[in-house]
Amino acid sequence: MRKKQFKAESRRLLDLMINSIYTHREIFLREILSNASDAIDKLCYLSLTDDKVGLNRGDFAITISVDKDARTITVSDNGIGMSESELENNLGVIASSGSYKFRREQGEDAADTDIIGQFGVGFYSAFMVSDHITVVTKKYGEEQAWKWESTGVEGYTVTEAEREAVGTDIIMHIKPDGEEPNEFSQYLQDWTIKSLVKKYSDYIRFPIKMLLPHSVKKPDSPEDKPAYETVYEWETLNSMVPLWQRKKSEVKKEEYDEFFMQRFGEMAPPQSVISVAAEGAVTYKALLFIPSKVPNLYYTQDFKPGLQLYSAGVMIMDHCEELLPEHFSFVRGVVDSPDLSLNISRELLQHDRQLKIISANLEKKIIAELKKMLADDRAGYEKFYGNFGRALKVGVLNQYGEKRESLQDLLLFYSSTEKKPVTLREYVGRMPESQKYIYYAAGDTVESIDSLPQTELLKDRSMEILYCTDRADEFLADSLRTYGGKEFRSAVDGDLGLEDAPKTQESDSDKECLAFIKETLGDRVDEVKASGKLKTHPVCMTSGEGLTFEMEKYFKAIQPELNMKAKRILEINVAHPAFLKLESVRTTDPELAGKYAEVLYNQALLIAGLPIADPSGYTDLVCSLWS
C-alpha cells in the first residue's frame, strides 16, 4: 500500500517533534486527552437532539490502557470519531497552524524547543514520545471504521479497520529509551500517567479511566492469615468538576483549604479565598487565594509567580504571569476561560486583549477583598500586611506611581499616638484642624524613632507621627507626597510648620559660637545652626530636603559604590546647658570648647544611627573630659 505524504508544514513540525529534546514532552498526554474530550463533547451535544446516539451524559468516558510489554499507551474515547476523509484532513495536515505561522514570523531563529513549549502542538506532540502511532476510529453515523498509521515523517497510511462502537483509539508506541535511562519508559508507568492526568487534565469534564492494580484479600483466605491477590479495576483519575466551577456558597472551607495546599504545595490553609465568575466581554471563572504564610521562595529569585491558566478544564499554563500585576504576585490561583485557545503562546498572551481584561478585573477583585479584610478583620489584615505589605509598597513605588491611587488605602504605618498600625485615611481623619502636615519619621525600630530628639515637640503637642520602621516606608511617604490633600512632612528633617514652635533666638555670641563649631568640624558637617525642634535635648542631626539618613543607609547597603550621602546639618539647642558651657569656655579655653563641639557632633551621629568615624578616639576624648 502506498504511503501518503504529509503536507510540507506538517512534515516540518513532525520532524521537530520526533527529534525533540524538549523536557516538557509530558504535555503529549494532555493534548491527546483534550482531543478525546473535544470529540466526546461533539457527540454528547448531538445526543441531546438525536436519540439514535444512544448514549447519556454519564456514558461518555475516556480510557487509558498501558501495555508495558508491547510498550503502548492507548487512549480511547467514545466521542464522535473520524471519517476517512477527516482522518486525512485532520491528521495529515497540521490542524491549527498557529505554531507554524509563529515559527515563520519569528524567522528561523526561534529555538525549536521554545516553539514546542509555547504551543500546545496537538496530536503531533505524541511523536515526542512515540515512534509509531496507530489511530483506529469510527465516525458516528458510519458503518466503516478506519485505521491511520504513521511512523513519522515518511508519511502515513489509511486503511479499513474493525471497530465495533463509535469513537477513537490513539495507540502510541513508546520509543525505546535512549542514553538516558527511563527516558521514555517512564511514560509507561501507571504512576507517571496518573500524575500527568492530575497535573494537566484533572478538570476534563468526562471521566478519564485507567485499569489499575489493587491488592485485595483473597476471599477464601482466613481472616487471621489473610492472603492477597492483585486485581485490576477501572479507576477514574480526574476529579472532573473543578472547584472554580462551583458556587462559593456550595463549597466547604475544607475543600478550598485542601485544594490550595495540594495544588500549590502550601503547608497552611489560605487566609482568603476569592471566587470570581464573570460573563460579558470575556467569560471566565477564577479562584484566587491569598496565602496565610509567605510562600517558601517568595522573596527569592526562584519564586515563580502567576496563576494557572485553563481553557475549558484543560491546563494551558502553570504560571501565567500576565494575569497578575507584580505587586500581587503572592496570590495563587486558577483562571479558566473557554474563550482562550489551547494553542496560545506566551508571546501571544502578552498582547491578548481578553487576558488583559481578565487581569484588570482580577486586580480589582483582589483590592476589594483586601479592603474588606481591612474593614472586617483588622487583626487578619495586619497579619496579611506583615506577610505581603512589602509587595504593596513596591506596587506604590513602581511604575511611576501609576498604582498609588488604588493601593494607598491598603498601606499601614505604625502610629506614635495609637501605638499600633494605622491607615492614612485614619490618620487624616483625626488630624486636628491646626495640623498642616502628615508627619512621619524613619528609623530602625519604634523605640529608636521614639527617642529621636526631633520628635519631642510633636509629641509634646500630642501630634500623631507615622513611624517608618521598614526602609520602604520612608520612600513611600516621599513618593506619595500627599494624601487626602495633606502633605507628608518628615518630623526629623523638615520644617514642622508649627505655629507655636519655639523661636530660635540667636544672640551674636550664639552665632559666633555656632560658627566656631562649624569651623571645628570642617567638612564633616554642611551646616551648624540653632534648632527650632529641640526642647530638652542638646543636639540632633538633620538632612534637610532631599536624601535622608535612612535612605543613605539603604543605598549604602544595596549599592555602596554610589556613595550616596545625605546632607549633615547639626542642629543645636542654644538654650541647653551643654551649649552654654561650650559658649562659656570658647574664648578662654578654645581647646576644651573644640572637644565639646566634637562630643556634640558625635552624639548627634549616634542618635541618628549614623556611624562615627573613630569610635575609640571618641571614647578617649569623652574620658579626657573628666580628667
The answer for 462, left when phi > 0, alpha when psi is -120 to 50, beta otherwise, is left
3-state class (DSSP) for residue 402? coil
Nearer residue to ligand ADP within complex by CB, 348 or 622: 348
Name the segment binding ligand ADP (CB under 6 A); options: 30-38, 158-166, 226-234, 553-561: 30-38
Name the segment binding ligand ADP (CB under 6 A); options: 91-99, 212-220, 487-495, 582-590: 91-99
3-state class (DSSP) for residue 492? coil
Contacting residue, 122, 270, 389, 421, with ligand ADP by CB under 6 A: 122
In 430-575, which residue ranges form alpha helices assigned H by DSSP? 446-450, 456-460, 471-480, 508-521, 549-558
Interface mask (CB under 6 A) for ligand ADP, residues 321-350, using x and -? ----------------------x-------
Beta strands in 79-150 (DSSP E): 130-138, 145-150
The sign one gets for the Cα dihedral 188, 190, 195, 201 is positive
Nearer residue to ligand ADP within complex by CB, 97 or 186: 97
In 456-537, which residue ranges form alpha helices assigned H by DSSP? 456-460, 471-480, 508-521
Instruction: Write the secondary structure of 416-434 as one string of H (helix), E (strand) and C (coil).
Output: CCCCCEECHHHHHHCCCCC
- Residue 95 makes contact with ligand ADP by CB under 6 A: yes
**With CB under 6 A, what is the number of residues at the site for ligand ADP?**
17
- Residue 543 makes contact with ligand ADP by CB under 6 A: no
Cα separation, 212 vs 266, in Å, equals 29
The sign one gets for the Cα dihedral 346, 352, 358, 361 is positive
- Residue 77 makes contact with ligand ADP by CB under 6 A: yes
Q: Are residues 607 and 570 in contact, defined by beta-carbon separation less than 8 angstroms?
A: no
Cα separation, 271 vs 179, in Å, equals 47
Selection from 288, 297, 383, 376 nearest residue 328 by Cα: 288
User: C-alpha cell of 99?
Assistant: 505554531
In this structure, which amino acid lies at residue 575?
A
- Residue 168 makes contact with ligand ADP by CB under 6 A: yes
Q: In degrees to the nearest 10, what's the CA dihedral of 529, 532, 537, 541?
A: -50
- Residue 149 makes contact with ligand ADP by CB under 6 A: no
Helix (H) or strand (E) holding 284: strand 284-290
- Residue 410 CB burial class (10 angstroms; 0-12, 13-18, ≥19): buried
Q: How far is the CB of 195 from ligand ADP (least distance, A)?
A: 22
Q: Between β-strands 465-468 and 482-483, what pairing exists: parallel, antiparallel or unpaired?
A: unpaired
Contacting residue, 79, 92, 270, 443, with ligand ADP by CB under 6 A: 79
Name the segment binding ligand ADP (CB under 6 A); options: 72-80, 326-334, 398-406, 452-460: 72-80
Q: Which residues pair with 111 in a beta bridge?
A: none
Name the segment binding ligand ADP (CB under 6 A); options: 34-42, 49-57, 387-395, 502-510: 34-42
Contacting residue, 35, 150, 361, 490, with ligand ADP by CB under 6 A: 35
* Strand order across the beta sheet in which 130-138 lies: 156-161, 145-150, 130-138, 167-174, 72-77, 62-67, 208-217, 228-236
> The cell 481584561 sits on which residue?
357
Nearer residue to ligand ADP within complex by CB, 99 or 455: 99
Nearer residue to ligand ADP within complex by CB, 79 or 295: 79
Nearer residue to ligand ADP within complex by CB, 203 or 467: 203
Nearer residue to ligand ADP within complex by CB, 31 or 510: 31
Name the segment binding ligand ADP (CB under 6 A); options: 31-39, 263-271, 554-562, 577-585: 31-39
Contacting residue, 10, 72, 83, 90, with ligand ADP by CB under 6 A: 90
Q: How far is the CB of 119 from ligand ADP (least distance, A)?
A: 10
- Residue 14 makes contact with ligand ADP by CB under 6 A: no
- Residue 78 makes contact with ligand ADP by CB under 6 A: no
Name the segment binding ligand ADP (CB under 6 A); options: 75-83, 239-247, 431-439, 460-468: 75-83
- Residue 118 makes contact with ligand ADP by CB under 6 A: no
Contacting residue, 16, 17, 27, 36, with ligand ADP by CB under 6 A: 36
User: C-alpha cell of 303?
Assistant: 519564586
Nearer residue to ligand ADP within complex by CB, 148 or 330: 148
Interface mask (CB under 6 A) for ligand ADP, residues 463-482, using x and -? --------------------
Q: Are residues 151 and 57 in contact, defined by beta-carbon separation less than 8 angstroms?
A: no
Q: How far is the CB of 547 from ligand ADP (least distance, A)?
A: 57
Cα separation, 175 vs 194, in Å, equals 20
- Residue 82 makes contact with ligand ADP by CB under 6 A: yes
Q: How far is the CB of 205 from ligand ADP (least distance, A)?
A: 15
Q: How far is the CB of 564 from ligand ADP (least distance, A)?
A: 55
**What are the CA-CA distances from residue 31 to residues 26, 197, 302, 313 (Å)?**
10, 11, 28, 12
- Residue 311 makes contact with ligand ADP by CB under 6 A: no
Q: How far is the CB of 90 from ligand ADP (least distance, A)?
A: 3
Residue whose beta carbon is closest to ligand ADP: 122
Q: How far is the CB of 135 from ligand ADP (least distance, A)?
A: 8
Beta strands in 68-129 (DSSP E): 72-77
Q: How far is the CB of 21 from ligand ADP (least distance, A)?
A: 21
Q: How far is the CB of 121 from ligand ADP (least distance, A)?
A: 7
- Identify the DSSP state of 110: S
Nearer residue to ligand ADP within complex by CB, 75 or 477: 75
Nearer residue to ligand ADP within complex by CB, 85 or 434: 85
- Residue 96 makes contact with ligand ADP by CB under 6 A: yes
How large is the C-alpha radius of gyration of the chain?
36
Residues that bind ligand ADP (CB under 6 A): 31, 35-36, 39, 77, 79-82, 90-91, 95-96, 122-123, 168, 343
